[in-house]
Amino acid sequence: MVKVQNYTLHATRYTLRRHIISSSHHLIISSLLLFSFFLFSFLPVSAQSKFGHVDYGEVMKNMHGIDSIQTVITDYRAELQAIGEQMVKEFQEKQTALEQLTNAPNSSPAIVKIKNDELVDMYRRIQEFEQSMYVDLQDKQVELLEPFQTQLLEVIKKVAKNNNYTYIFDISTLLFHAPTDDLTDKVKAELGIK
């Protein structure tokens, strides 16, 4: 009789555990279904998002006044190159003088060392100038292009808003695009570009 009671007790516990586990599974599944319902109920709103694209580079190169920037950059580059060429010319003159001094039979080793150190220092300055020249050119270009970029971004925002687009991408970053969502011509028209 004791064995039957133990068996009945174990069977009852097993049934209760199974019922509790089953209830908790139902609760988890119900929660997931409810969460999914709320998640998917918002999909129609995001499905209404419109995506468009603009050929940013094409518009930028055709903006009124942009060609004057290229002239300023070309002139600025020419100024920097002239300075660099003058530095190189001075370096070559000092290098020739050092070679003559080194080959002279009565030249002092101390003076040769001083002149060599000057030449090494001048070479370092030329290298630093070359590096700073490229940075200066880039900074100048960014400075000159900033008003054009600001204007273009404002026009893109305006065209996107007027045509109910949620996102506008640059065409250079897209692998595929529908021609119907190309807003380049609308942006050009807004900027007065033909």
Burial 152-185 (b: 16+ CB within 10 A, else e): beebbeebbeeeebeebeeeeeeeeeeeebebbe
Over the stretch 165-180, which tens digit does the pLDDT of each residue have?
A: 999 998 888 788 777 7
Over the stretch 108-160, which tens digit does the pLDDT of each residue have?
A: 888 889 999 999 999 999 999 999 999 999 999 999 999 999 999 999 999 99
Alpha-carbon distance of 94 to 99, in angstroms, equals: 9
Domain residue limits, the chain: 2-46, 51-191
Tokens of 183: 């807003």
Over the stretch 9-62, which tens digit does the pLDDT of each residue have?
A: 444 444 444 444 444 444 454 444 344 444 444 544 445 788 888 999 899 888
Angle at 136 between CA 61 and CA 75, to 5 degrees: 60
| β-strand partners of 54 | 170
Tokens of 69: 């920037």
Over the stretch 60-70, which tens digit does the pLDDT of each residue have?
A: 888 988 888 88
Listed residue (188, 189, 184) closest to 174, CA to CA: 184
Residue 146 to residues 141, 151, 153, 188, 194: CA-CA distances in angstroms? Answer: 8, 9, 11, 18, 22
Alpha-carbon distance of 193 to 17, in angstroms, equals: 76
